[in-house]
């Protein structure tokens, strides 16, 4: 594993120390993406493997948070997060407003910019929508983390801040713009 992946795995272990934290998404229980490698040390009873159903996943994450869990909802690429925008922008981001401050669910949305090096996956898998997300989300803090040394502290801040947070991981070794 790379230094970036190792640092992500350590950060996920740190998050898992909080018994309320649960991990869900694609490739959290089965190999197929780097996310799996970063969750290998997490007990299976703290992970929920989901099909390709991004909008449902975000809705489940909000529901789990309302039930007292802290879901870390994993989207393998930021491009896939676009399919959950209804739940993210119109529900999770607005729930505190809609409930007059009564509900402020703690959800950590974990995603990454898709690798475009050494293989280019094409325009549907290597987009960068960070600026657009920051413009749309009024009540969800959006973090980016680009160097291994900052990954754990970024996730700890996301865990401790009030309300939901979105963390975008950018592995510089896998992006041409940083080469």
What confidence tens digit (pLDDT) does each residue in 70-82 have?
A: 999 999 999 999 9
Band of the pLDDT at 157, cuts 50, 70, 90?
A: very high
* Mean pLDDT computed over 129-146: 96
How far apart (Å, rounded) are the C-alpha atoms in residues 38 and 40?
Answer: 6
By CB atoms closer than 10 A (0-12, 13-18, 19+), residue 171 is: buried
Distances (CA, A) of 4 to 9, 68, 154, 174: 9, 30, 13, 10
How far apart (Å, rounded) are the C-alpha atoms in residues 44 and 66?
Answer: 22
pLDDT digits (tens, 9 = 90+) for 9-36: 999 999 999 999 999 999 999 998 899 9
Domains plus CATH for the chain? 3-178 (3.40.50.970)
pLDDT digits (tens, 9 = 90+) for 74-122: 999 999 999 999 999 999 999 988 888 888 999 999 999 877 767 777 7
């Amino acid at each position: 594993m790379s230094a970036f992946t190792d640092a992500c795995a350590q950060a996920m272990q740190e998050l898992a120390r909080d018994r309320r934290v649960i991990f869900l998404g694609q490739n959290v229980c089965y190999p197929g993406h780097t996310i799996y490698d970063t969750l290998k040390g997490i007990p299976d009873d703290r992970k929920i493997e989901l099909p390709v159903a991004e909008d449902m996943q975000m809705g489940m994450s909000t529901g789990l948070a309302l039930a007292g869990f802290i879901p870390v909802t994993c989207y393998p690429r930021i491009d896939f997060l676009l399919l959950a925008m209804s739940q993210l922008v119109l529900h999770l981001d607005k729930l505190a407003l809609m409930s007059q401050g009564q509900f402020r669910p703690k959800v950590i949305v974990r995603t990454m910019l898709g690798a475009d090096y050494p293989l280019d996956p094409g325009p549907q898998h290597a987009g960068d929508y960070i600026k657009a997300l920051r413009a749309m989300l009024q009540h969800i803090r959006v973090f980016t983390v680009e160097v291994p040394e900052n990954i754990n502290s970024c996730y700890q801040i996301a865990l401790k801040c009030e309300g939901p947070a979105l963390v975008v991981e950018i592995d510089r070794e896998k992006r041409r713009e940083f080469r």
